[in-house]
Amino acid sequence: MRALSGDPSAVSLSFDRLVVLETAGQGDYEPLRPDAILTFHELCLVRDDGEWFMGQLDDDGSVICWASYGLDLAEAIRGL
């Protein structure tokens, strides 16, 4: 993960936080149930049901995702 992203500070986060997906153009949020949360500074990749979502880590520890980056972790990391 660190080698592929080029970010030596990349880490896995615990699941004890709110993680949501912002619905396009509606200002609503759909809760996600992640089985992996990876953080690269403020950006995060969240896996829910095998799909990777891009998001941002907020000051309160929650993660707001805005888009799916597919099923392949390597491709999602390249999309950072």
Q: What is the pLDDT of residues 23-34, one digit of tens each?
A: 876 779 999 999
Return the higher-pLDDT residue of 8 and 16: 16
50, burial (CB in 10 Å: exposed 0-12, middle 13-18, buried 19+): exposed
Its domain, for residue 70, covers 2-78
Can you state the percent helix, strand and coil of the chain, rounding each to 5? Answer: 10, 40, 45
User: CA torsion angle for 5, 11, 16, 21 (degrees, to 10)?
Assistant: -10
- For the entire predicted model, the pTM comes to 0.84
The number of folded domains in the chain is 1
**Is pLDDT at 5 greater than 80 in this prediction?**
no
